[in-house]
Amino acid sequence: MSLVEARGLVKRFGSLTAVDDISFSVERGEVVGFLGPNGAGKSTAMKIISGFMEPTAGQAWIDGHNSHTDPIPARRHLGYLPEGAPAYADMTVAAFLEFVAAMHGMNRQQANRRLAELVDRIHLASVWNQRIESLSKGFKRRVGIAQALVHDPDALILDEPTDGLDPIQKYEMRDLIRSIAPQKAIIISTHILEEVEAVCNRAIIIAKGRMLADATPAELLARAPSHGRLALALVTANPQGAIDILSKHPGVGRVEIVQRVNGVTRLAVQTSKACPSTSELTSLLGQSNIAVTEFYMQRATLDDVFRQIANHGAEN
């Protein structure tokens, strides 16, 4: 069995179905991004897998232990950062992390050694003896991450680990996640899509409680409407000739005029697998004396894919 396994998870609140038949598994070394708009059911699914919330149907396992019928061993192998990174506001960072470590059954020596390592890695030294209520949002989030890592668990479920961090802290957090990834199975939820490209090797898109996609970021990008589109800027006010020339090429699909400004025309060229090369196209256009000022392959963003999948899924 995989390190994290979810089968047929369903959660209903009255007539609202927050999680609708979610199944997936995460192996060691995988970082899975849970993507979805707010209220999509990401947090609910994570609460169920962590064992905090009872599902209406379905089951979840952490390291082979059912998180509901066998919760204690399951929790030993799980590091969990709940939504909003809750922590005891009246405790100092040190006291709080020592408390969590002890609750995980670590003795003082083990805890001290592990905490010394984490303080360094998550940069908590400057606030070590401060009360948590006095910390900034970014530090609170980092305390939450530290709390989830204290017992060096095999599986990690992190609900929005970079929420509230500034760009540099975000970068560091992603670095941290990447560095621990090879030994662990990690699920992170986010609505920041660049984060998925930065740290995840798999993305699961959830909207209205349903899983709409489960693929690598590259596979998802391939689904983008703008994927494999050439952008051309030509120095001509009348591009019809150029369009005719381009359309003759077997690797070219539809050609669209995007913009005509000051005698420069921008074209969007849909290409297929037999995409024409740069030199091929420039020489083709050069034959009819059309100057090309810009020429690039449009890079699809996960934003496009996400919007497309989420909207499409919502219509069904």
Partner 1 sequence: MHPLLLVFRREFAGYFSTPVAAVFLIVFLALAAGMTFLVSGFFERGQADLSGFFFWHPWLYLVLMPAIAMRLWAEERRSGTIELLMTLPVQPWQIVVGKWLAAWAFAALALLLTTPLWITVNVLGSPDNGVILSSYLGSWLMAGAFLALAAAVSALTKSQVLAFIGATAVSFLFVMAGFDLVIATVRPWAPGFIIDAVRSMSFFAHFQHITDGVLELPSIVFFVSLIVFSLWLNVRFVEVKKAA
DSSP code for 68? T
Question: At closest approach, how far in Å is the CB of 100 from partner 1?
Answer: 7
Provide the token pair at 160.
């929005």
Q: Which of residues 126-185 bind partner 1 (CB under 8 A)?
A: 147
Strands 155-159 and 78-81: parallel
Closest contact distance (angstroms) between CB of 24 and partner 1 is: 20
| CA-closest candidate to residue 45, choices 240, 187, 174 | 187
Instruction: Give whichever of 72 and 274 is closer to partner 1, judged by the CB atom.
Output: 72
- Dist. CA 278–CA 69, nearest whole Å: 60
Applying CB under 8 A, the span of 47-55, 122-130, 186-194, 206-214 interacting with partner 1 comes to 47-55
Structure tokens at 25: 């598994």
Q: Which of 65, 18, 70 is nearest to 45 (CA)?
A: 18
Q: Which span (44-52, 134-142, 221-229, 292-300) binds partner 1, by CB under 8 A?
A: 44-52
Helix (H) or strand (E) holding 140: helix 137-149
Site string for partner 1, 86-125 (x = CB under 8 A): xxxxxx-------xx-xxxx--------------------
At closest approach, how far in Å is the CB of 113 from partner 1? 17
Total residues at interface with partner 1 (CB under 8 A): 29
Q: Are 80 and 53 in contact (CB under 8 A)?
A: no
Q: Closest separation between CB of residue 41 and partner 1, Å? A: 14
Contact between 202 and partner 1 per CB under 8 A? no
Q: Based on CB atoms, which residue is closest to partner 1, 48 or 309?
A: 48
State the nearest-atom distance from the C-beta of 150 to partner 1, in Å: 10
- For residue 19, the minimal CB distance to partner 1 (Å) is 12
- Asked whether the beta carbons of 249 and 284 are under 8 A apart, the reply is yes
Task: Report how far residue 141's alpha carbon sits from residue 161's, in angstroms, rounded to the nearest whole number.
Answer: 7
- Taking the complex as a whole, the smallest distance from the CB of residue 129 to partner 1 amounts, in Å, to 14
Residue whose CB is less far from partner 1, 65 or 174 = 65
For 40, the token pair is: 């999509």
Are 146 and 97 spatial neighbours (Cβ–Cβ below 8 Å)? yes
Binder of partner 1 out of 54, 167, 274, 287 (CB under 8 A): 54
Binder of partner 1 out of 17, 52, 56, 152 (CB under 8 A):
52
For 217, counting Cβ atoms within 10 Å of its Cβ (0-12 exposed, 13-18 middle, 19+ buried), the class is buried
Taking CB under 8 A as the criterion, the residue among 10, 53, 268, 284 binding partner 1 is 53
Residue type, 306: F
**β-bridge partners, 57:** 10
- Which residues 6+ apart lie within 8 Å of 44 measured at CB? 11, 18, 19, 53, 209
Q: Which range, of 49-57, 243-251, 254-262, 266-274, touches partner 1 by CB under 8 A?
A: 49-57
Largest CA distance in the chain: 79
Distance CA 141, CA 85 (A): 6
Q: Give the span between the Cα atoms of 54 and 68, in whole angstroms.
A: 7
Binding residues among 68-87 for partner 1 as defined by CB under 8 A? 71-73, 75-76, 78, 80, 82-84, 86-87
Q: Toward partner 1, which CB reaches closer, 57 or 257?
A: 57
Q: Which residues bind partner 1 (CB under 8 A)?
A: 47, 50-54, 71-73, 75-76, 78, 80, 82-84, 86-91, 99-100, 102-105, 147
